[in-house]
Amino acid sequence: MIFVNSAWSKNAIVKQGVEETKIKVIPLPYTIEKKHTDFKRTYPASYTKQRPLRCLFLGTLAVRKGIHLVIEAAKQMADCPVEFIFVGRNEMDASEFALPNIQYKGILTREEVDIAYQQTDVFLFPTFSDGFGLTQLEAMAWQLPVIATKFCGTVVEHGKNGWIMENAGAVSLVNILNEILSNTEVLSNYSNQCLSRVQAFSTESFASALSEILNSDQ
């Protein structure tokens, strides 16, 4: 029996010739802490150059993670009240970040990462392939809606607590960000649905799913 974290991983393994019946999907667990429930997220009535829409990309800054899509989106939205914050190890040419609406903060401590989650408005996860993508749950634990692709664990519920990009392209990302700019209540509404989604990935749920699979195989 083979355990994987997502249907995306399962399908990838099946394509390599592994028998589908041997593969069991159990999503990664995540624990909501008091710091998450104590935090109260607020959004502005509108976004301006003085208070732009703050988009957080946190992880390895690499093509496989879709960072080039975000850079292209930043170029296309140069005249919009949108700011892109990059956090993590960089595998790109640093000159790519030399845009007025991009801030590259490098590698941060856990405490600094928490602050980054708190001070931004939406989380960007335009990955081309992740076995799961635990940062999706980390972001949602901070009541931060997520923009993701379908190439990872199924965390985001499109139209409820975030967006699933139509395709892994800058145009799709720009369209979603423009939607947010034109509908200032959408992030607040989605934010309110984030914690309940994270609760579905509790350690208890993980243990129950694992126990059910093991018992059914006996």
Same domain, 18 and 36: no
Same domain, 150 and 186: yes
Residue 34: other Cβ atoms inside 10 A = 7
Sorted by sequence, the CB contacts under 8 Å of residue 93 that are 6+ apart come out as none
> What domain range is 145 assigned to?
30-200
Please report the pLDDT score of residue 217 as a whole number: 61
What is the spatial distance between Cα 132 and Cα 160, in angstroms, rounded to a whole number? 20
Same domain, 134 and 216: no
What total of structural domains would you count in the chain?
2
Reported confidence tier of residue 195, pLDDT bands at 50, 70, 90: very high
Side-chain-side CA neighbours of residue 198 (13 Å): 25
At residue 218, does pLDDT exceed 60?
Answer: no
Across the chain, what does the average pLDDT equal?
A: 96
Same domain, 141 and 76: yes
Q: What is the pTM of this model?
A: 0.95
Please report the pLDDT score of residue 214 as a whole number: 84
At residue 14, does pLDDT exceed 80?
Answer: yes
Max CA separation in the chain (angstroms): 61
At residue 213, does pLDDT exceed 90?
Answer: no
Please report the pLDDT score of residue 181 as a whole number: 98
Same domain, 66 and 83: yes
At residue 27, does pLDDT exceed 60?
Answer: yes
Same domain, 92 and 20: no
Token reading at 113: 């990462």
Q: Tell me the CATH number at 66.
A: 3.40.50.2000
User: Are 60 and 88 within 8 A, CB to CB?
Assistant: yes
What is the spatial distance between Cα 178 and Cα 135, in angstroms, rounded to a whole number? 23
Same domain, 188 and 218: no
Please report the pLDDT score of residue 215 as a whole number: 85
Give Cα 145 distance to the centre of its chain: 8
Measure Cα distances from 150 to 14, 54, 117, 129, 210 in Å: 17, 23, 22, 9, 24
Same domain, 111 and 121: yes
Same domain, 195 and 214: no
Q: pLDDT tens for residues 51-108?
A: 999 999 999 999 999 999 999 999 999 999 999 999 999 999 989 999 999 999 999 9
Please report the pLDDT score of residue 184 as a whole number: 87
Please report the pLDDT score of residue 177 as a whole number: 98
Q: Are strands 162-164 and 102-104 parallel, antiparallel or unpaired?
A: unpaired
Same domain, 195 and 209: no
Same domain, 59 and 20: no
Same domain, 90 and 133: yes
Over residues 151-179, the mean pLDDT reads 96
